[in-house]
Amino acid sequence: MNDFLKGLKRVGIKLGFFAITVLTILLLPIFSLIRIIEKIFKAKILYFDPKKERNSVGRYLIDNWIGETYQAQNNRVFVYFLFPALGAFLLFVALPFIQGIYFSMTDWTGLNDPSFIGLINYKTIFLDYEFGFSFLRTAIYAILNIALINVVAFSLATLVTQNLKLKNVYRAGFFMPNLIGGLVLGYIWKFIVDKVIVQMGGVFSPSLLINGNTAFLSLLIVVTWQYAGYIMMIYIAAIQNIPQDLVEASEIDGANSWQKFRNITFPLVAQAFTVAMFLTLVTAFKQFDTVISLTQGGPAFVLPEWIGNIYGLNLLPVVQSTDLVAINIYNEAFVNYNMGIGQAKAIVFFLILLVISLIQVYYNKKKEVEL
Amino acid sequence: MKKLLLVLGLFTVIFTMTACKASEKTLVIYQNKVEIDEVLRTYAEAWGEANGVNVEVKTCGGDTCAYGTQILAEFQADEQPDIFVIEGMGGYNIYADKILDVTGEAWASDTDLEFVVDGKTYGFPVAVEGWGMAYNADILTAAGVDPATLTSQAGYLAAFQAIQAYYDGNASMSDYAVVSMAAASGMTWVTGLHNFNGYLSSGLAYNDSTVIDKLNNGEVDASRLAQLADWVELLFTWSDETILLSGGYDEQVGKFAAGEAAFLHQGNWTDSSYTNSDFEFGYAPHATLTTGNTSLFIGAPSYYVINKDTDSEADAKAFLNDLASTAEGHDYMVNQAHMVPAFNAVTLVPSTPLSALVMEWNQAGNAYAWWQNDMPSGFGMEVVGPIYELFAKGVAGASGGITKTEFIAQVTAAIENLG
């Protein structure tokens, strides 16, 4: 128990010093301004006597940041070098993000003067069955998409790292779809599905794109076709980086190809798995362009009964079957002109995506092997 | 020496900047009709040269550019156009703070279709458009159908049956369609806006807004809705199945333009597709009501409005006045852009078949109003359209479709949600 309290205290102190450091970095411009004024007027506004300071926080500040020690001077210069990047980050990422949080609590429509309405938008979207359905669809889509893309990409990567004659041609070929823009690709595949394979009859006629579930499946296949080549490149790089001496040693020990794959290839490409899984996860959740051109969010679909029950709906409403979250947000903001609600959806989306990707990276990292 | 150079350089920069500002009177028009982009540009440049104004035409529309989104972005980026386009009341509500009151302009006395709110004029009608059931008169005559009977659902049913019998009697017409209509995801503007407008205006006087007012208050006119459902079922039953379920605009209009469909559920904007069509065209009203349908849906789809914060108000007003009153303006609207002008002073007749027909129906006073743009934004295309889509599947027997009863229940629920 005592140990636990001690540990807690240590963490607390560390956190405290971290907070102080961040504050000092942000306040450093003011501090240097004061120093300049001091130099001009030859006065002492901010003066610390290093010898008299007994408080541990004060000592830390003087020794590491504002004193004249070697460490403090060094630290200050580092921070000055940080400012261009930090400034750009604050201006183009942090500030719009905070502004976004503000707009999510207003009734902004894009042209009116927004007025603050608290958390009403968040309440609206949690009661909105369309958003709930959209999120469920996106989650299913993401899981299937991640699995499919990674399996296909990894298989292709193992294939084109074998001793094949034209392996560079294959690599280029598999990568090619990724060079076509998502919109164009969607239109091409819409043509293929609506006009070409319909001629084969059977399940392909009428068009796969008019039924909610088959349209969803078509979307999965199209996106896999496009993105697997890119992920394949990541795996190829990882597979080529496996030291050949390990492989040779295992061969001398009599390992068969499955054992080599299971015990050498797989652990050593785990790092690539982290990257590839993260990329596929994020792109799957943010899928937009291909959906717009392939299915326009449709086809329409009667809401499944169990979801209707959750929201207590007597009449099951009509929803769009490939209405993924990104499209739902876009429509809310730019078709229905509810910028506030759209922004609130975007914030919820961001938080959930953040949590999911952190969990994913954490678990994948644990599997990685350092050589 | 260095200082002298610096001062000289500075002066050059300042002079160039002031010089630019002095001579450059600009007028930015941001419009949404892709098909008239080029001719409008030509006309605007000619007008600009004659009046010493630098006119810039920007276009965003069609399938690939969402006008509403883009114009919002322009406003937010502070690149405000001087003249832009609104689509009826829905658009007015969004941009109300930005629109200049143009009451008393000369062009307004020459038309009945200007955009008016509370007695003040705001919008210049870009053109008149209309839709109904366009038909191929050659097929109708060959099948022995008299277009005058196409005013009731019973009349349409008899006509559809006669046409189908005519097709069945000709081996070469096995893949001909009775009706060419599309209800898939991308076509909800045809179903959710154009077809649904019949519920809002069929059989009513031109300025009778009772049904749309009730809709916006969440009230349903059950009898009208039931009649609409019968009409939609009739249309879907006799439509070409492939085009109905998965076709886009090109397939839908293409079938009719090739002379392989008797009826087309579209308006006069399809005229540009008929350059190679050699048959007689006609228009018949939608039979939204069981009986007594006499008119096409005719109105001004969009209006030019002037930005309240513009620096070139006088130029913008002059541009619109000249468009409505000069021979060049008339020539541009009728002969170049193939539009049906809303102004009485225009004597030219459109050379394209459906536009000429719309003008004829309009002059005869056979017009039902357009109320579809007065529904809340997104309601027609995002809410009603998908219900039509499912109903189309139900009628065609594809999986996941709904029945007529469900169609009525879904639309009723959607309208009641607006209250």
| Contact residues, chain A, for B97 at CB < 8 Å | 111-112
Q: Do B98 and A331 touch (CB under 8 A)?
A: no
Mean pLDDT of B24-30: 82
A32 and chain B in contact, CB less than 8 A: no
User: By a Cβ cutoff of 8 Å, what residues of chain B touch chain A?
Assistant: 66, 68-69, 72, 75-76, 94-95, 97-98, 184-186, 241-242, 245-246, 376-378, 381-383, 386-387, 389-390, 393, 396, 398-400, 402, 409-410, 413-414
The type of residue at B293 is N
Quote the tokens at residue A65: 């940041």
| Contact residues, chain B, for A337 at CB < 8 Å | 68, 94, 377
Quote the tokens at residue B285: 């009203």
3-state secondary structure at position B338: coil
pLDDT score of A334 more than 90:
no
pLDDT score of B9 more than 80:
no
CA A280/CA A235 separation, integer angstroms:
13
| Contact residues, chain A, for B389 at CB < 8 Å | 298-300
Q: How far is A335 from chain B (nearest CA, A)?
A: 6
CA A311/CA B101 separation, integer angstroms:
46
Read off the pLDDT band of A227 (50, 70, 90). Answer: very high
Q: How far is A368 from chain B (nearest CA, A)?
A: 45
pLDDT score of A305 more than 70:
yes
Looking at residue A146, its pLDDT comes to 93
| Contact residues, chain A, for B382 at CB < 8 Å | 331, 335-336
| Contact residues, chain A, for B387 at CB < 8 Å | 300, 318
pLDDT score of B21 more than 60:
no
A327 and chain B in contact, CB less than 8 A: no
Q: Do B68 and A334 touch (CB under 8 A)?
A: yes
pLDDT score of B259 more than 70:
yes
Match 């009628």 to its residue by tokens.
B395
A304 and chain B in contact, CB less than 8 A: no
pLDDT in tens, B340-391: 888 877 778 888 888 888 888 887 778 888 888 888 878 888 889 999 999 9
Q: Give the residue from chain A lying closest to B386, CA to CA.
A: A300
CB A110 within 8 A of CB A338: no
Judged by average pLDDT, the poorest of A47-61, B100-114, B153-167, B326-340 is: A47-61
Segment 339-368 of chain A within 8 Å of chain B by CB? none
CA A224/CA A141 separation, integer angstroms:
11
Give CA separation, B96 vs A71, B93, B117, B284, in Å.
61, 5, 10, 36
| Contact residues, chain A, for B396 at CB < 8 Å | 206
Looking at residue B22, its pLDDT comes to 44
pLDDT score of A277 more than 70:
yes
pLDDT score of B113 more than 50:
yes
pLDDT score of B19 more than 90:
no
CA B231/CA B223 separation, integer angstroms:
13
Mean pLDDT of A226-238: 92
Q: Do A210 and B75 touch (CB under 8 A)?
A: no
Looking at residue A371, its pLDDT comes to 62
Read off the pLDDT band of B15 (50, 70, 90). Answer: low
Read off the pLDDT band of A313 (50, 70, 90). Answer: confident
Quote the tokens at residue B26: 């600009």
Rounded (5°) CA angle B197-B392-B257: 75
Residue A321: which of A296, A346, A340 has the closest Cα? A296
pLDDT score of A367 more than 80:
no
Looking at residue B12, its pLDDT comes to 63
Looking at residue B92, its pLDDT comes to 84
pLDDT score of B264 more than 90:
yes
What residue ranges define each of the domains in chain A, with the CATH number in brackets? 2-103 (no CATH), 123-367 (1.10.3720.10)
CA B253/CA B52 separation, integer angstroms:
42
| Cross-chain CB nearest to B185 (options A110, A112, A299) | A299
Looking at residue A48, its pLDDT comes to 65
The shares of helix, strand and coil residues in chain B, as percent rounded to the nearest 5, are 55, 15, 30
Mean pLDDT of A31-58: 75
> What percentage of chain B carries pLDDT values higher than 70?
94
Mean pLDDT of chain B: 86
What residue ranges define each of the domains in chain B, with the CATH number in brackets? 24-128+300-363 (3.40.190.10), 132-299+376-416 (3.40.190.10)
A331 and chain B in contact, CB less than 8 A: yes
Q: Which of B67, B75, B185, B309 to mutate to test the interface with A (most CBs of A within 10 A)?
A: B185
Looking at residue B116, its pLDDT comes to 84
Q: Do A302 and B402 touch (CB under 8 A)?
A: yes
Q: Do B245 and A317 touch (CB under 8 A)?
A: no
Looking at residue A1, its pLDDT comes to 61
Read off the pLDDT band of A10 (50, 70, 90). Answer: confident
pLDDT in tens, A104-150: 999 888 777 788 888 889 998 988 888 999 999 999 999 999 999 99
Segment 184-213 of chain A within 8 Å of chain B by CB? 194, 198, 206-207, 209-212
| SS3 labels along chain A | CHHHHHHHHHHHHHHHHHHHHHHHHHHHHHHHHHHHHHHHHCCCCCCCCCCCCCCHHHHHHHHHHHCCCHHHHHHHHHHHHHHHHHHHHHHHHHHHHHHHHHHCCECCCCCCCCCECCCHHHHHHHCCHHHHHHHHHHHHHHHHHHHHHHHHHHHHHHHHCCCCCCHHHHHHHHHHHHHCCHHHHHHHHHHHHHHHHHHHCHHHCCCHHHCHHHHHHHHHHHHHHHHHHHHHHHHHHHHHCCCHHHHHHHHHCCCCHHHHHHHHHHHHCHHHHHHHHHHHHHHHHCCCHHHHHHCCCCCEEECCHHHHHHCCCCCCCEEECCCCHHHHHHHHHHHCCCHHHHHHHHHHHHHHHHHHHHHHHHHHHHHCCCC
Residue A104: which of A279, A340, A262 has the closest Cα? A340
Mean pLDDT of B142-146: 90
A301 and chain B in contact, CB less than 8 A: yes
Looking at residue B24, its pLDDT comes to 62
pLDDT score of B88 more than 80:
no
Please indicate whether residue B231 or residue A34 has the higher confidence score (pLDDT): B231
Looking at residue B347, its pLDDT comes to 78
A319 and chain B in contact, CB less than 8 A: yes
| Contact residues, chain B, for A210 at CB < 8 Å | 184, 245-246, 393, 398
The type of residue at B303 is Y
Looking at residue B261, its pLDDT comes to 92
pLDDT in tens, B312-345: 888 888 899 888 888 888 888 888 887 888 887 7
| Cross-chain CB nearest to A206 (options B94, B97, B398) | B398
Q: How far is B73 from chain A (nearest CA, A)?
A: 9
pLDDT score of B4 more than 70:
no
Q: How many CB pairs under 8 A join A and B?
A: 88
Looking at residue B33, its pLDDT comes to 83
DSSP B46-77: HHHHHHT-EEEEEE--TTT--HHHHHHHHHHT
Q: Which of A198, A208, A210, A219 to mutate to test the interface with B (most CBs of B within 10 A)?
A: A210
Q: Do B184 and A298 touch (CB under 8 A)?
A: yes
Residue B94: which of A337, A68, A47 has the closest Cα? A337
Match 């077809």 to its residue by tokens.
B195
Rounded (5°) CA angle B26-B31-B34: 125
Q: Give the residue from chain B lying closest to A295, CA to CA.
A: B185
Q: How far is B69 from chain A (nearest CA, A)?
A: 6
Q: Which of A203, A305, A318, A329 to mutate to test the interface with B (most CBs of B within 10 A)?
A: A318
